């Protein structure tokens, strides 16, 4: 009985250590980001600092919890059918959405390509009502676009670009 407890504690401490390390690396990398002097309070460092700080804080709380003997207990299997086979069709649909997003986002702008990606993922996860899912996907993509471009001042692709030349264009403002 005690042996199982020690083994479970070691497993939780390994996970918690990686969580702490990830948070620490995020904080160190974020501190080395170059931020313009005229940057506001919410700049390129704000979100990574928040995520890294939360990871470090939560991992410290987890360390204390494990040290006090409060170990996580695995939950019982819920009633239902256990599926032994992976759902390759759903994976292929979601993967196709990701591939089309990566290939076409700079050419066809964020909102339509983002909506297609959201639709593919929702459909792969089992959404049945096609029209409703398409409308919700379009709304979600639009909200994400406005939130990033207006709220966070992060520019997402917004102009159609059908230039397929291999020529690199450098714009210089003198």
Three-state SS sequence of 1-33: CHHHHHHHHHHHHHHHHHHHHHHHHHHHHHHCC
pTM given for the model: 0.52
Residue 127 clears pLDDT 50, i.e. is over it: yes
Residue 173 clears pLDDT 80, i.e. is over it: no
What does the pLDDT read at residue 77? 58
Residue 1 clears pLDDT 50, i.e. is over it: no
The mean pLDDT of 110-115, rounded to a whole number, is 87
The mean pLDDT of 47-70, rounded to a whole number, is 88
Which has more confidence, 46 or 73? Answer: 46
Locate 89 and state its tokens: 């069709």
What does the pLDDT read at residue 12? 81
The mean pLDDT of 55-76, rounded to a whole number, is 81
For the chain, what are the domain ranges?
A: 2-67, 88-151
Residue pair 62/2 in contact by the 8 Å Cβ criterion? no
């Amino acid at each position: 009985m005690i042996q199982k407890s020690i083994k479970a504690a070691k497993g939780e401490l390994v996970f918690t250590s990686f969580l702490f390390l990830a948070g620490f690396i995020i904080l160190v990398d974020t501190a080395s980001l170059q931020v313009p002097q005229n940057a506001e309070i919410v700049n390129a460092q704000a979100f990574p600092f928040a995520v890294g700080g939360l990871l470090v804080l939560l991992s410290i709380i987890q360390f204390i919890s494990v040290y006090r003997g409060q170990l996580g207990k695995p939950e019982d299997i819920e009633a239902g059918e256990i599926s032994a086979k992976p759902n390759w069709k759903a994976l292929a649909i979601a993967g196709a959405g990701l591939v089309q997003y990566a290939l076409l986002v700079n050419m066809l702008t964020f909102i339509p390509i983002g909506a297609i990606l959201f639709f593919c993922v929702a459909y792969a996860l089992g959404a049945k009502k096609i029209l409703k899912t398409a409308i919700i996907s379009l709304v979600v993509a639009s909200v994400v676009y406005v939130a990033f471009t207006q709220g966070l001042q992060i520019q997402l692709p917004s102009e159609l670009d059908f230039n397929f030349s291999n020529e690199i264009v450098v714009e210089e403002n003198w």
